[in-house]
Structure 1
Amino acid sequence: MTKTLLMFMAITLCIACKSDPKKKEPIASTSIQPDYIAYQSHISKAEKHILDSNYVAAFKQYDTAFTLVDKPLAKHCFTAMQVSATVDSLDHFKKYSLKGMRRGLLPQYFKEDSLLNGYLKQKELYPFIDEHFEPNHKIYEESTNTFLIDTLKQLTLLDQKWKVHYWDSLARVDPENKPKYDSLYNIIVSDIVDNKLIPLIKEYGYPAERSYGIKAVNYAGKNGGSQRRSYQNSNATVILMHYYSLPQECKYNDLLLNEVMKGNLEPTSYATLIDFQAQWGKRKYCKVRHFNEWHATKDSTQFEAINKRRKTLGLRPFQERLQKNKRGQKACKEIKEGNFKHIKLFYWCG
């Protein structure tokens, strides 16, 4: 059975993993490189100010963050637009809307958000959006790699197929044989990661938003509404989360950290993957410590060290994640009651 599965995988992926015929020559490096950790640090501070309802201070942090990188993340552009609308800074609202459209945000996303739609109508800005959308969206399209999109799609479909088949189905209906199904799935996901995804990362960089583009993801199900929507691309990270849900060595961590420094992998995603390793990894071969971004240790003696590790990635203390959670739960309740105007931190409803 295992040989049959591996043959199937080889056939499925032979086209997806071919050389990219449109691969461009690398751009010559410049003397000033984007500081993605500093960028994340300012974004984290802005989100803390939003938690404290200090929107002027948050506005200043976004303004600083966006001067550090050419490609701010779409969700950060979206929130910065909301904050600039809240403090009524028209010039910055326009600037952030242009940045957002260059990062894949569509006018319909603005229209579907009560806060943004209200400001756009109040300031009569829809003609401005319509005028600038096409040229800025073209910049976005030209910055994405269609080869990566197609390849990651194939890898994701393959991973999901066998995860559903073994973990979500057979392992549940036949728990006595769960170790066997774990082993079979581990063979598949390890092949995807070791032989397909990691070589892709080494050649092209981590395939996420800055090279792959964004997707509008409704993380509360089909009927969650725009308030529960996120703008991201996490296909590769989800595959690695599945991979590290089984005991693995942590031999790719230097590679992944380097992708953080290059801006291809979000610090929050890297911290999540390390948390999976800390939770489920082979301690004999993979001795890593929690970041408390996804899986968390309750050992309070480690909290100070955890937050020091988080700071190296530009992340705020993990306790603020709990604040985001509570804020999101409150937003969920208010949305059900008809209040849709919330500045989004893309954490639950909030």
Structure 2
Amino acid sequence: MAITLCIACKSDPEKKESTTSTSIRPDYIAYQSHISMAEKHILDSNYVAAFKQYDTAFTLVKKPLAKHCFTAMQVSATVDSLDHFKKYSLEGMRRGLLPQYFKEDSLLNGYLKQKELYPFIDENFESSNKIYEESINTFLSDTLYKLTILDQKWKVHYWDSLARVDPINKPKYDSLYNIVISDIVENKLIPLIKDYGYPGERLIGASAVGYDPNDSYRRAYVQNSAKIILWHYYSLPRQKCDYNDLFWEEVTNGNLDPGHYATFIDFQARKGADTICNNVKIYDQHFIVTDSTRFDEFNTRRAQLGLEPIEERNKKYKRGQKACKEIKEGNFKHIKLFYWCG
């Protein structure tokens, strides 16, 4: 099955930056490590310590992620650091956050009203948002959108429709969808990554995803388009691990979220790739392993990505469950870790 898609429809798209620059290279793993530590302190209700970790993390990179800006704003409001609140609100708007997102959040909205900061937000939004828009690689964004539409079309056709109404022939539909998703990833997405970088938030911006802001799940600020395509790709068994070095490079370049990378590896290992590739070992990012005797093994690998230990990941989940219940009862005032409801 041949799939045609133009990925050269812009005369001078932004190519991946050279890695031979003599300037100091941002340390995205260290950034993620400080974010993980900040979230640990939030879990322990130690907001001053969390505030200090965000302050350190944001000095390490030029483009902190939108969700981290949002949480840093909440923590700054909680410890009543007005200067840092302003700093993180500017940083957040430069990463795509809109004033309406602040109004939707009980904690941020309350602080903005208390300190009479909405004029500050209004005065700085246009210039901050311009910085955000200019940071977007529109060629990469537009091309990824086309790939996403193509993937969703055939996923719905084969997996969500035919395979469900005709389960006896599911292997046939898996095989047909495999042709489609393999072409999308191997012939289109991977060459795109090699040329321009992984199309994550730092290259194509964040999206506000989720349900109504008053619902239990509320809103998250992420960039999941390429991740979902690769989830679909690795949901089928792969007899090769050709792209893992490329993915790792994109993690260290700051384009690929370490948690997304860990999930790709988890999918590969669960589908048998660990028998082909010696370096494919799970991080337990996507799949929950209840055997606590393996936690040290996972945590060692996770630390290399700056990710939190399994115990803290599980604590986030329990905190989120509690937040779900409280939100349904009318308490919307929570510092967001963007893990489940919490």
TM-score w.r.t. length of structure 2: 0.95
Give 1:44's aligned residue.
36
Q: Give the Cα separation in 2 of the matches to 1:258 and 1:53.
A: 35
CA-CA distance at 1:29 after TM superposition: 2.0
Alignment of 1:160-179 (within 5 A): 160-179=152-171
Tell me whether 1:206 sits opposite 2:193 in the alignment.
no
Match of 1:246 in 2: 236
Structure 1 residues 252 and 77, CA gap change in structure 2 (3 angstroms): same
Counterpart of 1:326 (choices 305, 318, 328) is 318
Contact 2:66 2:222 survives alignment (8 Å): yes
| Number of the residue aligned with 1:265 | 256
Match of residue 26 from structure 2: 34
**Does residue 149 in structure 1 map to residue 141 in structure 2?**
yes
> What's the secondary structure of 2:341's corresponding residue?
coil
Specify the alignment match of 2:247 in structure 1: 256
> Deviations 1:252-304 (Å, cap 9, x if unpaired)?
00000000000000100100111111112344424521101102444444321
| 1:23-172 map, 5 Å | 23-24=13-14, 26=17, 29-172=21-164
What is the distance in 2 between the residues matched to 1:209 and 1:29? 22
Q: Is contact 1:113-1:227 (8 Å) kept?
A: no
Give every structure 1 segment of 4 or more consecutive aligned residues whose post-TM-superposition deviation is greater than 6 Å: none
> Residues 87 and 208 from structure 1, CA distance in 2 versus in 1: closer, same or farther, beyond 3 angstroms?
same
**Contact 1:47/1:345 (CA < 8 Å) preserved in 2?**
yes
Give the Cα–Cα distance (whole angstroms) in 2 for the partners of residues 111 and 313 of structure 1: 33
Q: Return the offset for 1:334.
A: 0.4
SS of 2:139's equivalent in the other structure is helix
Which amino acid is 1:231 matched to? Y
Task: Give 1:222 deviation, angstroms.
Answer: 5.2
CA–CA separation in structure 1 for the residues paired with 2:121 and 2:181: 43
Contact 2:216/2:328 (<8 A) preserved: no
What letter matches 2:139 in structure 1?
F
Give the CA deviation at 1:171: 1.1
- Shift of the alpha carbon at 1:71? 0.3
Q: Check the 8 A contact 1:40/1:315 in 2, yes or no.
A: yes
Once residues 122 and 223 of structure 1 are traced to their aligned partners in structure 2, the CA distance between those partners, rounded to angstroms, is 21
CA distance in 2, matches of 1:106, 1:281: 43
CA pair 253-142 structure 1, distance change in 2 beyond 3 A: same
1:237 matched to 2:227? The reply is: yes
Distance 1:24 1:237, change over 3 A: closer
Whole-Å separation in 1 of the counterparts to 2:58 and 2:143:
30
C-alpha deviation, 1:130, in angstroms: 0.6
Q: Distance in 2 between matches of 1:266 and 1:132?
A: 28
For 1:315, the aligned partner's letter is: L
Worse-superposed segment, 274-283 or 208-217:
274-283
Tell me which amino acid in the other structure corresponds to 1:259. Answer: E
Letter in 1 for 2:200: A
- Aligned residues of 2:203 and 2:255 also touching (Cα < 8 A): yes
8 Å Cα contact 1:112-1:226 kept in structure 2: no
Alignment correspondent of 1:196: 188
Moved more, 311-320 or 89-98: 311-320
Deviates more, 1:161-170 or 1:188-197: 161-170
Deviates further, 24-33 or 135-144: 24-33
Unaligned runs of 5+ in 2: none
Equivalent residue, structure 1, for 2:271: 280
Which of 3, 6, 11 is the aligned partner of 1:21? 11
Shift in CA distance, 39/159, structure 1 to aligned 2, threshold 3 Å: same
1:98, 1:136 within 8 Å by CA — same for their partners in 2? yes
Segment of structure 1 superposing worse, 303-312 or 73-82:
303-312
Cα distance in 1 between the residues matched to 2:12 and 2:215? 38
8 Å contact 2:14–2:196 — kept in the other structure?
no
